[in-house]
Structure 1
Amino acid sequence: MNSYYEKAYELHNFDFNAHQHVKTVTLLNFLQDISTCHYNSVVGENDDNAVWVIVEWDVQFIAPITKVQTLTVKTKPTYFRKFIAYRAYEIEDAEGTVVVTAVSKWAYINYESRKQMVIPKSLYAIFGVQENADKPPKLENMDFKIDRKGFMPFRSCFSDIDINQHVNNVSYLRWTIDSLPYDFIAQNSPKRLQVYYRKEIFINDVIRVLTDLEEKETRQIIQNSNGEECVKIRMLWK
């Protein structure tokens, strides 16, 4: 049976922003962490230098989290096909209410060559994923472009780099949120987050965050120092 794997995550005062809401980057860190914890607890290390690389996030924020408590985070793989996998997530508050749901898309690749690898059939059985499982829908409205005239610069630093020696996925989200106007952040909270990763960024790269803000929607593109599009982030606010 393809059941949820779950793990408890304790919130602390430093996980909250100036408006007493849990930081979006904190919740995304939980989702990313439990993905690795689940896989390692069942499979351990991969053979043949295989690694999982995140491709997309689609996160729905259902209810606000405004106090220190222990959250229960759940995840399970829902789809394997060739080199692509999807995971589903739920985050419950201390009362057992689902406050966040999410879907992530991953690619199975060779660590050294960065080429795609076919997901072993053994993983289908281990995680209880059916070969004929329905594929989750693609992210919509992610084909936007943004004028480069106005942008916020950042430099990728040591604290941004993860164990794979490139910028951690959550750092991109932090950069985009930090580049939004304070008044907008003060008056709005996230409703939906969509992230599309296209290219890795490494240490000491000067990056640009391009932003297009329209009422309750923000669209942002992160470019590296060569002007290449690396990450696209779209957020709906409430």
Structure 2
Amino acid sequence: MASKFTEKHEITFYECDVRGRLTLPMLLNIVIKTSESQSDSFDRGTDYVTNLGLGWVITQHEITINRLPEVGEQVAVSTQASTYNKYFCYRDFWIHDKDGNECVKVNSTFVLMDLVTRKMTSVPEELIAPYECEKIKKIKRGMPLTVIEKGEERPYRVRFSDIDGNKHVNNARYLDWMVDSLEYDFLINHTPTFVNIRFDKEVAYGDTITSKSSLETVSETLNKMSCHQVILDETSCAVANIHWQ
């Protein structure tokens, strides 16, 4: 049985929006920090992985939101490396409030990238062994995404602060660009309930990307789904669907 790791976190003002609720990019940063803490506890942290000439890359997140924690809340952030196969590693995350209620669940897919060739590589057994997760043959397919055809477009230049240790854009920044493409009045009056985001291609420092979005009604209760795509030189770099109520 794979080991589960939990650490406490206080939601700070700079992690929240104007309503005092945790933002989607910060939500991702918080859960990924917990996976890094677990890896450090196994002596499988960034230095260990880098010394193998490798780096972790996230290919997809599926985020189910019961409610977004608010500024000042004490939450428990948990993670578990559930299963893996030759190339893909699957990890789950949870955020619970002080009463034990599940606020957020995240299902994530990771791969290892060769830092020289920038290509996906197989998972070394010595790297994954401490997590005690099950090895499977099956490749888990993420939920399908609705890809945008037409929509509003907004350009962004990739800044130095957007880049992470793998020298490409931090995953949370894509969500930042996507949510920022929506109107203020919409964001004030709607709350995300589910996010499905897939990362297709690296974006590097100095690139200018286009964040494209469209909004549609998906139910009789007037719930909305926003469709997003981050594009570089007509190439899709990330795709997301966000459900709102």
Output the TM-score relative to the length of structure 1: 0.91
| Structure 2 unaligned residues grouped into runs of 5+ | 218-223
In 2: Cα distance, 1:155 partner to 1:75 partner: 33
Match of 1:83 among 76, 87, 92: 87
SS of equivalent to 1:171: helix
Match of 2:227 among 216, 219, 224: 219
Q: Are 1:139 and 2:146 an aligned pair?
A: no
For 1:61-88, what per-residue CA distance to the aligned partner results, in whole angstroms no more than 9, with x for missing partners?
Answer: 0123234122211111111111110101
Identity %: 25
Q: Are 1:65 and 2:73 an aligned pair?
A: no
For 1:196-227, what per-residue CA distance to the aligned partner results, in whole angstroms no more than 9, with x for missing partners?
Answer: 00111111211111111103100100011x22
For 1:112-166, what per-residue CA distance to the aligned partner results, in whole angstroms no more than 9, with x for missing partners?
Answer: 11222221233454211122487645222x1523226x30111111221112221
Q: Decide whether the 8 Å contact of 2:85 with 2:136 is kept in 1.
A: no
Output the TM-score relative to the length of structure 2: 0.89
Structure 1 residues 143, 188: closer, same or farther in 2, change over 3 A? closer
- Deviation larger for 179-188 or 117-126: 117-126
SS of equivalent to 2:211: strand
Q: Are 1:112 and 2:136 an aligned pair?
A: no
Q: Decide whether the 8 Å contact of 1:195 with 1:234 is kept in 2.
A: yes
Counterpart residue number, 2:26? 26
AA in 1 matched with 2:237? C
In 2: Cα distance, 1:73 partner to 1:135 partner: 27
Q: How does 1:185-196 map to 2 (within 5 A)?
A: 185-196=187-198
The alpha-carbon deviation at position 172 of structure 1 amounts to 0.8
SS of equivalent to 2:32: helix
AA in 2 matched with 1:227? E
For 1:16-49, what per-residue CA distance to the aligned partner results, in whole angstroms no more than 9, with x for missing partners?
Answer: 2112322122111111222222223212312530
Q: Decide whether the 8 Å contact of 1:79 with 1:135 is kept in 2.
A: no
In 2: Cα distance, 1:204 partner to 1:177 partner: 21
Counterpart residue number, 1:99? 103
In 1: Cα distance, 2:91 partner to 2:79 partner: 7
How many positions carry a matched residue from both structures?
A: 235
In 2: Cα distance, 1:6 partner to 1:57 partner: 19
What is the root-mean-square deviation in Å for CA atoms of aligned residues?
A: 1.8
Q: Decide whether the 8 Å contact of 2:85 with 2:137 is kept in 1.
A: no
In 2: Cα distance, 1:26 partner to 1:19 partner: 14
In 2: Cα distance, 1:133 partner to 1:66 partner: 40
Structure 1 residues 16, 131: closer, same or farther in 2, change over 3 A? closer
Counterpart residue number, 1:210? 212
Q: Decide whether the 8 Å contact of 2:11 with 2:69 is kept in 1.
A: no
Counterpart residue number, 1:121? 125
In 2: Cα distance, 1:158 partner to 1:207 partner: 14
- Deviation larger for 43-52 or 198-207: 43-52
- Deviation larger for 125-134 or 16-25: 125-134
SS of equivalent to 1:83: coil
